[in-house]
A and B are shown apart, each in its own frame.
Chain A
Amino acid sequence: MNIKEKTVVFPYSAQFAPILRHREFLNDYEVINVVSPRGWQLSGNDACIVDGSESMGIIVSDDFEEALNLGDTVLFIEWPEIYDIYDLVKNKIRQAITSGKNIVCAFEIDHVFKKEIIRMCDEKGISFKYFGSGRTFYDSNNINIERETVYELNTPVVFVLGVSENTNKFELQLALRESFIKKGYKICQIGTRSYCDLLGFHSFPEFMYNCSIHESKKIVLFNHYVKKLEIVEKPDIIIIGIPGAIMPFNKKFTNKFGILAYEISSAVTPDIAILSVLFAEYSQEFFKRLFDTIKYKFGYEIDCFNIANTIFEQRDSDQENTMVFTTLSSQYITRAKKRFKLPGGIALFNVLNPGEAQNLHEYIVDKLANNECSEII
């Protein structure tokens, strides 16, 4: 039996909440404490406070020193971009090393500080694992594609997409992982974050972010990457999370124009596509337009929607020049989503509602089963 390291998480925020909810996937780490900066005022509250979900049975602390005494390892995790706490986190890392704790970094750190951590950990005889971006160096001159052919996949593929960030995409990915594994399926999964390896599945490949690789090459590379995984892992199902957003939100918040989503959609065609949207009072026509937009832009249909428990704040976003959101409770979404009418009987889910992850699983399995009724050989 694998002995897990007793692990403290810092800084705890909504970014880590899906992982905490599905912490059984952290093969090597047992989360014993989640700590947030004092000023975030999360201390003493159930961990669900960060994302409006159901109780997780873990209380957030703001006492980093006390938490260090309890654990073997500190997992430093990415935090919402709106908080400027890089220097604070660096000091906490130094403090953790001085206390003799193993270090796991799951956010991007600068080269100079990384060298400092390595040196300090070596001196202390403790381990340092890095799961941030920039781990893998790709020399575009060495990437040789003889033919720009894309291959068909023989395994059902599920896409998880979002209209923007903060649409519960990672929760959807982990909920699907949990439900399929529980039912005995073998999954090959590519997640939207750079540290999915911590959870036992593939992080989003870094070559997709590499500026020196031509965009058309990236499409081919991604297709080949997934095809290779299919051959090697022989999964029953492939789940792919699409980082970022599918399209610009508006002219001010362009979400990198949904370029990644387009490239991935050109590389791989899904059998099931789940699109997560922010909360608003949508009309049926809205869902129809979104459905048609995806269909004509990416070439496949959305099979179901997920409604996130976050609202986009236009006025605050305009003032602060960054997308600003307000988090609602998942119970509010459960009540409110009854008002929505979707076209053509397309389903709408709220993955933060405990029962709905299972409903989503069954919906996908039914759809896949119907797709296999008659098959071209």
Chain B
Amino acid sequence: MLDGKPFIHLFKTPGGHYLYDVNRNTILTITKEVYSLLEEIMESKVWKEKKRTSLIINNCTLKKLIEEGFLLSSHISEMIHPVNDTLEYYINQKIRLLTLQITQQCNLRCNYCIYSGNYVNRSHTNLSMNFATAKKGIDFLLEHSRERNFIGIGFYGGEPLLEFELVKQCIEYAEEKSEGRKIIFTMTSNGTLINKEIIRFLASHDVGLLISLDGPKNVHDKNRKYAFSHCGTFDKIMENLKIISTYFPKYAKKISFSIVMDPTVDFQCVNDFFLDYETFQTFGPLANATDFMDRSLREDHTLELGYNEQLNNAYNYEMFKTYLSKIGRLQEKFVSPITSLSFSKFNIIKKSLQIQTKVLEKCHHGGPCIPGIDRLFMNIDGAFYPCERVSEVSQVMRIGDVEKGFDIEKIRNILNIGKITEEKCKNCWAVRFCYLCAGFADNIDNFSSDLKGAKCDAVRRMVDRNFKEYCALREFGYEFFEQYEKLVDIV
């Protein structure tokens, strides 16, 4: 017997009907008939009509699903993160990555930069971290990452190459202190200050370099300009990439690119640039493609946001080509490197759809990392934040500093951000696949349930679309099995 309205989400593709069982965390294929019956059940009208209820419950498929423990009506009893009780063990021994804000100065003034004045955040300054503070940060990382076999140190800015000597000191210090450990170094750079000496050092210490490059010259130079001349930076970056590919071809493979998508530009133009441009054949893959950040924006911001139909259509068309290639209907060489990045979301969905044997009780919605553990951002003054995308003027997001250490209660509040929208989250079918973290609720002095709640519909739309695309790909025969890559060929 059904004990109440099942906690499920119904969706369909042109090729099938499905239900996502929230308690069991599983997507099931169902017939059109069962889909319609469940729709009736979900609309609640049926509970008042006993005759109709019994007709529905007597459906064989539904009976079988109920017998096998599906269609339960249980909802989350309490929104609490699974590591809440053991948080102190994570913050004492499991930090994975430390990002050092080497300097707040930059030789560029990019329109969409979070320090451009368009966001509720600090602006560019000419201040830099001193080596004493950097050393303390590195010591903090080493002391609080004992249970990690390898850890990361990232260099961030502003533009970190403005303080290249400090970067060198940090790398050499970390290597000296880390006997018996493996440290992976990374750097995010605008790519304009690169020279042979810098590349020689980065290559000899195996530093992964992420260069910001938004597309062809007209697109890149629209937003990424020098601070004083206001000239575009595309030509300089291309010149530097040529130096790298000529003199350091092996290291070139460790360099990847980050794109910020301006919603007003021609997506096809950007896409073709990365698809066809010969220069990129010698470098590493695209690392990420992001939109303008749309949280913590000032009301008087000057960024052009909003829906761009042309871009949206062009993007969706490229995404469609990506799907065609995955099901073997299009050669990979025609596939956009930008939309290929987002295909990894389906492997995450596959991994996340682990069938559960017990009902939802205490849990937390997807989205939050363990603040300071998955990544720890340290600014020039030694203040700690969960990541570099968080506003540095936010009181609620500051989780301690290198002198006093972590503020565990602040970390706990960020970890359990679902508490502020608990009643909504308890009843949300997308709870396991949510991507909202505390950054979406950051109101500088407090967390705002309104700010966070305003994103909920977008989350559900995205999860619904992802489920449909996931199922549609499976209908066309695509298998999401990563372990096939390691299959031993003994046939």
Contacts and interface: CB of A to CB of B under 8 A. Distances in A.
Interface stretch (B108-116, B172-180, B206-214, B404-412): B172-180
Interface stretch (B139-147, B152-160, B466-474): B139-147
Secondary structure type dominating chain B contacts:
loop
Contacts of B147: 325-327
Nearest to A314: B354
Interface in B86-106: 86, 89-90, 93-94
A288 B122 CA distance: 57
A326 B143 contact: no
Contact of B180 (A11, A49, A318, A320): A11
A326 B90 contact: yes
Contacts of B89: 326-329, 332
A84 B93 contact: no
Given A252-B483, A326-B94, A327-B147, A39 B86 contact: no
B90 A39 contact: no
Interface string A314-349: 000010100001111100100010000000000000
Nearest to B352: A315
A302 B86 CA distance: 29
Contacts of B45: none
Contact of A37 (B93, B180, B483): B180
Given A40-B180, A83-B180, A327 B93 contact: yes
A231 interface: no
The winner among B145, B149, B180 for most chain A CB atoms within 10 A is B180
Given A83-B149, A326-B94, A332 B86 contact: yes
A308 interface: no
Interface in A45-100: 49, 62, 80, 82-85, 88
A89 to B, nearest CB: 9
Contacts of A327: 89, 93, 147
B151 to A, nearest CB: 10
Interface residues of B, number: 21
A39 B179 contact: yes
Given A40-B146, A41-B142, A318-B351, A84 B182 contact: yes
A248 to B, nearest CB: 14
B77 to A, nearest CB: 14
A85 B145 CA distance: 17
B181 interface: yes
Contacts of B358: 283
Contacts of A62: 179
A4 interface: no
Contacts of A38: 177-180
Contact of B179 (A37, A311, A326, A336): A37
Contacts of A311: 86
Contacts of B182: 84
Interface string B121-156: 000000000000000000000110111010000000
A243 to B, nearest CB: 22
Contacts of B179: 37-39, 62, 88
A39 B143 CA distance: 9
Contact of B146 (A42, A325, A328): A42
B86 A328 contact: yes
Contacts of B143: 41
A283 B357 CA distance: 11
Contacts of B177: 38-39
Contact of A326 (B86, B178, B483): B86
Contacts of B93: 326-327
Contacts of A84: 149, 182
Contacts of B94: 326
Contacts of B351: 318
A38 B351 CA distance: 37
Nearest to A310: B147
A325 B89 CA distance: 11
Q: Which 4 pairs across A and B sit closest by C-beta, in order of nearness?
A: A37-B180, A82-B149, A39-B181, A39-B178
Interface of B: 85-86, 89-90, 93-94, 142-143, 145-147, 149, 177-182, 351, 358, 483
Given A88-B179, A328-B89, A332-B89, 5 more contacts: A41-B145, A62-B179, A80-B149, A84-B149, A327-B93
16 contacts: A37-B181, A39-B179, A39-B181, A40-B146, A41-B143, A62-B179, A83-B149, A83-B180, A252-B483, A283-B358, A311-B86, A320-B149, A326-B86, A326-B94, A328-B89, A329-B89
